[in-house]
Amino acid sequence: MSGKFGVKGGCYRAQNNQAGIVSVTTDSSGNGSATATFRQVMKGIPAVIPGFTGSTSADALTTGAVTSVSITPRGFKAVVKGASVKSGTVKVAYNAFDDAYR
């Protein structure tokens, strides 16, 4: 871990930590994407940890995958693939932190 912020032993410390939920509309195959915008612009490119929320059906949690792409200091795109929620909405929770914020 460099300086005061970073990842070590499965835990992280960061000065700028933001979390939220973004709604992703899926197509008939259970695929979709949506853009999330951070409340505060990060200083550097943050690490983004996405996941399905508990408000989605349990089936969607086991049959879908969610990733974060196109990450910038202003936000990212949440991509859902193969969710069992087809032609519907999946809630994606995220936690983003910028360990360059020193």
- Asked whether residue 1 is assigned to any structural domain, the reply reads no
**Which comes out higher in pLDDT, residue 52 or 19?**
19
- Asked whether residue 27 is assigned to any structural domain, the reply reads yes
- Asked whether residue 90 is assigned to any structural domain, the reply reads yes
Find the domain containing 65 and state its range: 6-98
Total domains in the chain come to 1
Strands 6-8 and 32-37 turn out to be unpaired
When the pLDDT of each residue in the chain is averaged and rounded to a whole number, the result is 83
Tell me, what CATH number does 49's domain have? 2.60.40.2080
- Asked whether residue 57 is assigned to any structural domain, the reply reads yes
Beta bridge pairs of residue 5: none
- Asked whether residue 63 is assigned to any structural domain, the reply reads yes
- Asked whether residue 30 is assigned to any structural domain, the reply reads yes
pTM: 0.79
Alpha helices of the chain — where are they, by DSSP H? 58-63
Instruction: List, for residues 37-86, the tens digit of each pLDDT value.
Output: 999 999 889 989 998 776 655 455 567 889 999 999 999 999 999 988 88
pLDDT at 99: 72
